[in-house]
Structure 1
Amino acid sequence: MRVRGRDRRPNRRSGGAVLAGGAVAAVVALLTGLTPATPSQAAAPNGLEGQTRTLDKDVRALRSAGGDVRVLAEVDTGRGVLRSRAGGGSAPTPWDARFRIASTTKTFTSVVVLQLAAEGKLSLDDTVEKWLPGVVKGQGNDGSRITVRDLLRQTSGLFDYVRDPELGRALAEGFDKVRHDTTPAAQWVAVAMRHRPLFTPDHAHPRWAYSNTNYLLAGMIAEKAGGLGWREQVEHRVIAPLGLRDTSVPGANPYLPGPHARVTLRTPDGKVTDVTDHSIQHTADSGVVSTTADLRTFFRALAGGKLLPPAQLREMRRTVARTGDTDDLAQWPDGGYGLGVRWTPLSCGGGYWHHEGDGFGSYTRTGVTPDGRRSVAVSITSDGGTPDLVRLNKAARKLADDALCGRAER
């Protein structure tokens, strides 16, 4: 889920103090507002000391851009794994922390749908109406004009259900009242159908607009075509084959399994509320929980052809230009969008594939080179504040660029 609304406004700040362990760390925290990045190893893997220094520097810069957040980053260089973290004072984020990956879930959902296409159980050219008759209709919405491909590449024009004013008010008036919400995907789609679409799909000249509604529908179609629930298909088709032991789809269970950081946000009345435990993000647009290590494994496997046959991987990587969504263009100014993945250019040439995730105080950033040799995964969790996503994403892109280009500080 990409949460849009009052809880994501960039101008609110936390007044909470940063806790630091030890006199030196306390002085650093007081002077800079930051906690030093702390590599996991006493010494970096042989020959990677410079890249380790770069990662530490980028993690500190990312935390500075994010404000009251914790940052945990992990890079697979192909010759060793580098890790760094900042924030949390004397209780930093665990290295193996679980976190809600929010919209990075969309890549998992896209893989499931593309596997079903490879098996001949559906076609990307199938219409939504074929699989979900009567679900997308009213207010100018027409499921007979929207294909499965439109859903996966965000070219359907459907209203994003998380922008619904009633949903926004419910979240703003009290998170505790809705934290155990388990509204079925079909009901959220029905909310989206109360609104007119942004545009009618034009398959000759596709227009693009990010909408979580697309992936609710993609999950519903996957259930029809695959004969299993979306959650079970992610488990059987992705998590189990790759051995992602720390990745799960909790569904209605509001609790994060295993070690994790507490996630807190500041409410409109100035109080800080703990949003760690909730079941709001339980659908095919946002429902996966993972770790930085498992996300690295997932994206490397995807890029390396271990999850999709060549034809479906080519389809996933066929991008469209992102036009018309000013929020998205501000946060991700360069590159295109494929089927559940983004493409962003690298300063050293070429580019990388990834998908971000923005949830309730939990932000995920990823990246993998096209050959799967280098990958990066970052978890950013709110520690009482709400970051400015334009600034945060600029710093996250710098971190990913340095990590995937193998940039080393001397």
Structure 2
Amino acid sequence: MKTDLELMGQKSQVAAQEIAQLSTDQKNKILNLMAQKLIEESHRIVAANQIDLAQAQDMPAKFIDRLLIDESRILGMAHGLQQVAQLADPIGDVERAWVNHVGLKITQQRVPLGVIGLIYEARPNVTVDASALCFKAGNTVILRGGKEALQTNLVLAEVLRNVLKESGINPDAIQIISETSHELANEFMRLSDYLSVLIPRGSKKLIQAVVKNATVPVIETGAGNCHVYIDESADEKMAVKIVENAKCQRPSVCNSAEKLIINEKIATQLLPKIAEELASSHVLLRGDQKVQAILGGKVQPATAEDWETEYNDYILAIKVVSDIDEAIQHINRYSTHHSEAIITNDYQNSQKFLNQIDSACVYVNASTRFTDGFEFGFGAEIGISTQKMHARGPMGLRELTTTKYLIQGSGQIRE
């Protein structure tokens, strides 16, 4: 007898065959209807979110920020759906085509992955973003959000499923698991007969648990111990502005800066200005001995643990280095391979940083906060992959597809 999860997987596989055959126009029409419906149902969505927020009132502020859904964020989700509708559909794209030595016409063409499983924590917007991207790429999705956002996620999924149903599309293209137990999560991770791939989004602890326990292929996402390195040639005003934005614009997300590395030749002059700017946002500074000597009581001592910690909070650890080589060595050692930035007016150093930093996204003179599917022009994103497989960095439509080879012959046999 099949379990409830296996039945969901079976339904999702059936729906996947239908969704894969939809035209681009059909998919775009559905996505625009979903955007409209989200706005129409905003009061119901906010009401469900208030239930989740009430149960999470003792949680840290950074957690509440991720969990919160208001009218503005619903408009943002709706806009994301509309953007995905406007994006080019990768399905059917020909990667390459050729005729081999015996006259076989071989075409490599882009196709859906199939059934995608998603495990995520306190960000309800993921329910909408992931559903939109999977649907546009011709996939079905099974969602397993965290218990903290359960009521919000259930309403969001219901709104999206109702649009499918009212449009004559199999609503099982989008399914959500309503039980949030660890036992069921572990069963979900082993649903290899039904899931094509499993994508975890959330804390390092969640991602590692999925990687350790899953029998389904996993795309790792998320953990962002991101660095900003200020080179000796950096423009001071630019440096202060970028560090403040990378740390303070939204510190609870994975592309915010957690570490500041600064060249010793500019540290004494620049660090007090950075500390003054960050003080307005009440950022807690932690630094090595050189930083402590410069900033005195404005900074706490940094420990070995600080260099590998993703705070997702108003905390920044600072290290002084002798040159760019020491900066690169430190970043590559402690980075989670997410996003790193250099602030410099030295072209050679900018190129060295771009070439030698081993992360998915590497910036010159820009904030790490731009590592985002929306900012990259992908519409919504399903996550930031920190792996080196077919998907790395912000995962948009193309990263949710694979390819197959179509071979046409005229009677050829292999000798």
Fold in common (TM above 0.5): no
| Structure with greater strand share of residues | 2
RCO higher in 1 or 2 (8 Å CA, sep ≥ 6)? 1
| Structure with greater helix share of residues | 2
Q: What's the TM-score bracket when you normalise by the shorter of the two chains?
A: under 0.3
**TM-score between the two structures when normalised by the length of structure 1:** 0.25
